[in-house]
């Protein structure tokens, strides 16, 4: 066999090897992406965090030269974007010295743009936190596309992210209200020593006029105290004071009490001139209304 | 003489007729007032209703034997509730969550009131809700006039001494959000 023939055969073998090598590269294991939701069972009115992951970086990660992940179909009337973060490691630049690692949002699409060589392992690539708007249960589908640039070429994958969520949980309030006997006496006692009246006005036994509101709710509540005179006793007015005799004129806000119950106490104070005629014991001269609302 | 007697007789007849008219008028007025009050959805019962509400259910796992502390002559109530109310016009029912646990010392009556500007209207009123019972459905009153949509409203909770039936001088208001559906 002549040298020329040997060289020709060697060249063919090398060429075949090169082709085989490139085919091998091009036929390398495709990128495998997945996503997860936290919590796995989100609810309307709550938050959900979407994490997109690359499952086989060990085999193909070192070939990545660019990555673009598009999560589309984001309706801002359904989902409020709280945060969007690339979880890719800082890239080493590729010629001519380009390295990019950012996220952007436009026209209902969040895009992760990554250009460069990953400097570390890649598992999670993109994380987005949403507020799920509304209160009804539902399902939202978001098309997602992955564009991966490697030495061998470009690969594109499409998928759909489904976010199923339950209806917003009903807030349950847990409140105790206790009250004293609300029995008052109008005292008008003549003191012969001072030639004056002692104890003019309405009085009651200790804590007979006390109203205590205790909340064990997991949300704040606002407590308002009101007094309404009964028919025929409109001349007798009622107001409320705290334990320090300071008037209560605005709602009292109680913080969340599910760990430690929180309380507020109010004391009813009656004011009037001396009633024109005696009022029989046990006569209802007014009512107290405790309003338990939501802080504004 | 005869003329005088006739005159006396006519006077007597007139007085009898007058008394009968007054009596009939008084009875009619009394009946009218009584019937009006019994139909008046806004009337607050001064004494506890005789019957427990048909929709009342015993609270499961409410084994709390210890009552809240209440001073003599006073009262103590514990309540768990949601401020979301859903009404079905086709079923004529309101879906609510309101619990009066065993530790309460008072029985309760619940009014569901719709508020529109300065106007308030009672659209549902329960019978007695004893301590240890919950209410998750209320029957709408026939007088309730609503259409589909969202409304502001409130619970007005009245308390009654379980022994004497007397209404307490303290009551509770809870603002609620009402969603009305066909």
Question: Interface of chain B against chain A, CB under 8 Å?
Answer: 68-84, 97, 168-175
A178 closest CB neighbour out of B70, B173, B175:
B70
Calculate how close chain B gets to A46, using CA atoms only, in Å: 18
Token representation of residue A146: 């992955």
- Contacts for A187-195: CB closer than 8 Å, 24+ residues apart: A188/A274
Residue-by-residue DSSP string for A3-72 = HHHHHHHHHHHHHHHHHHHHHHHHTSPPP-EEEEEESSS-BTTSEEEEEEEETTHHHHGGGEEEEEEEE-
Whether pLDDT at A135 is above 50: yes
The answer on A79 and A103 residing in a single domain is: yes
Per the structure, the count of domains in chain A is 2
Look at strands B84-88 and B170-181 and give their pairing.
parallel
Phi-psi category of residue A73: left, alpha or beta, with phi > 0 → left and psi -120 to 50 → alpha: left
DSSP B44: P
The reply to whether residue A208 touches residue B175, judged by beta carbons under 8 angstroms, is no
Judge if B95 and B123 occupy the same domain: yes
Structural domain including B9 reads 1-39
Is residue B130 domain-shared with residue B78, that is, in the same domain?
A: yes
Question: Strands A173-179, B75-81: parallel, antiparallel or unpaired by DSSP?
Answer: antiparallel
User: Is there a single domain that holds both residue A63 and residue A113?
Assistant: yes
Q: Between B63 and A89, name the one with better pLDDT.
A: A89
pLDDT reading at A249 higher than 90:
yes
Is B154 within the bounds of a domain?
yes
Residue B66 and residue B135 in one domain: yes
Residue A157 lies in a domain: yes
- Residue A86, domain CATH: 2.60.40.680
Q: Which of A121, A147, A165 is the last residue of a domain?
A: A165
Distance from the Cα of residue A273 to its chain's centroid: 54
Q: Domain of residue A220: give its range.
A: 175-274+282-293
Nearest-CA distance from A217 to chain B in Å? Answer: 9
List, for residues A56-100, the tens digit of each pLDDT value.
777 666 678 899 999 999 999 899 999 999 999 999 888 788 889
The pLDDT, as a whole number, for residue A270 is 95
Q: Is the complex ipTM more than 0.85?
A: no
Residue listed under structure tokens 């003599």: B72
Same domain, yes or no: A86 and A137 = yes
- Does the pLDDT of residue A22 top 50, yes or no? no
Residues of A in contact with B168 (CB under 8 A): 179
pLDDT digits (tens, 9 = 90+) for B149-168: 889 999 999 999 999 999 99
Same domain, B103 and B62: yes
What pLDDT sits at residue A24?
Answer: 46
Task: pLDDT band for A14, please (50, 70, 90 cuts).
Answer: low
Q: Do A176 and B76 touch (CB under 8 A)?
A: yes
Going by C-beta distance under 8 Å and a sequence separation of 6 or more, which residues neighbour residue B55?
A: B126, B135, B136, B137, B138, B139
Tokens at residue A70, please? 């598009």
- Are B70 and B155 within one domain? yes
A186 is a domain residue = yes
Task: Inform me whether the pLDDT recorded for A186 exceeds 70.
Answer: yes
Q: How far is CA B117 from the centre of its chain?
A: 22
Residue A131 has pLDDT above 70, yes or no: yes
Question: Mean pLDDT lowest for which of A191-195, A202-206, B86-90?
Answer: A191-195
Which carries the bigger pLDDT value, residue A287 or residue A19? A287
What is the pLDDT at residue B109?
Answer: 97
Structure tokens at A289: 């209304």
The answer to whether residue B49 is domain-embedded is: no
Has residue B169 been placed in a domain? yes
B40 pLDDT exceeds 60?
no
Tell whether B95 and B162 lie within a shared domain: yes
- Partner residue facing A180 (CB), from B71, B97, B172: B71
B44 domain residue, yes or no: no
Q: Are B140 and B94 in contact (CB under 8 A)?
A: yes
Asked if residues A35 and A144 have their Cβ atoms less than 8 Å apart, the reply is: yes
pLDDT in tens, B1-39: 566 667 777 888 888 888 888 877 766 655 554 444 444
pLDDT at A239 > cutoff 80: yes
Using CA atoms, how far residue A139 sits from A43, B76, B86, in Å, is 10, 45, 23
- If asked whether residues B110 and B166 sit together in one domain, one would say yes
Write down the pLDDT at residue A122.
84
Residue that finishes a domain, picked among A105, A134, A165: A165
Residues B116 and B74 in one domain: yes
Would residue A62 be called left, alpha or beta, if left means φ above 0 and alpha means ψ between -120 and 50 degrees? Answer: alpha
Tell me how many domains chain B contains: 2
Q: Are residues A142 and A70 in the same domain?
A: yes
In a domain, B46, yes or no: no
């Amino acid at each position: 066999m002549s040298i020329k023939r040997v060289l020709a055969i060697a060249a063919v073998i090398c060429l075949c090897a090169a082709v085989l090598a490139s085919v091998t590269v091009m036929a390398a294991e495709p990128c495998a992406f997945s996503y997860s939701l936290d919590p796995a069972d989100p609810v309307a009115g709550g938050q959900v965090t979407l994490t997109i992951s690359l499952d086989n970086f060990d085999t193909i990660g070192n070939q990545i030269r660019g990555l673009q992940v598009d999560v589309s179909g984001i309706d801002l009337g359904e989902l409020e974007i709280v945060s969007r973060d690339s979880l890719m490691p800082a890239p080493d630049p590729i010629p001519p010295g380009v390295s990019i690692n950012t996220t952007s949002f436009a026209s209902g699409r969040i895009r992760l743009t990554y250009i460069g060589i990953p400097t570390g392992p890649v598992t999670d690539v993109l994380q987005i936190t949403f507020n799920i708007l509304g209160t009804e249960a539902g399902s939202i589908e978001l098309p997602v596309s992955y564009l991966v640039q490697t030495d061998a070429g470009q690969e594109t994958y499409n998928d759909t992210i489904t976010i199923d969520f339950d209806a917003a949980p009903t807030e349950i309030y847990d409140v105790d209200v206790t009250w004293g006997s609300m029995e008052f006496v109008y005292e008008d006692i003549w003191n012969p020593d001072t030639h004056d009246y002692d104890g003019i006005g309405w009085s009651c036994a200790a804590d007979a006029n006390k109203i205590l509101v205790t909340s064990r709710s997991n949300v704040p509540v606002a407590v308002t105290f009101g007094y309404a005179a009964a028919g025929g006793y409109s001349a007798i007015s009622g107001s409320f004071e705290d334990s320090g005799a300071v008037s209560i004129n605005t709602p009292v806000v109680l913080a969340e009490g599910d760990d430690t119950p929180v309380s507020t106490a109010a004391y009813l104070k009656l004011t009037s001139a001396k009633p024109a005629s005696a009022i029989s014991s046990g006569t209802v001269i007014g009512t107290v209304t405790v309003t338990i609302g939501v802080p504004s | 003489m005869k003329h005088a007697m006739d005159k006396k007789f006519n006077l007597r007849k007139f007085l009898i007729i007058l008394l009968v008219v007054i009596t009939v008028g008084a009875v009619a007025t009394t009946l009218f007032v009584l019937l009006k009050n019994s139909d008046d959805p806004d009337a607050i019962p001064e004494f506890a209703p005789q019957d427990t509400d048909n929709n009342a259910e015993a609270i499961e796992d409410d084994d709390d034997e210890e009552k809240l502390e209440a001073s003599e002559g006073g009262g103590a109530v514990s309540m768990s509730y949601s401020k979301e109310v859903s009404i079905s016009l086709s079923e004529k029912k309101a879906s609510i969550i309101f619990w009066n646990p065993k530790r309460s010392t008072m029985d309760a009556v619940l009014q569901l009131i719709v508020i529109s500007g300065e106007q308030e209207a009672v659209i549902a009123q329960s019978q007695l809700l004893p301590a240890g019972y919950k209410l998750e459905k209320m029957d709408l009153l026939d007088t309730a006039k609503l259409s589909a949509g969202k409304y502001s409203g409130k619970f007005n909770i009245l308390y009654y001494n379980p022994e004497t039936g007397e209404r307490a001088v303290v009551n509770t208001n809870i603002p609620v959000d009402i969603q009305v559906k066909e």
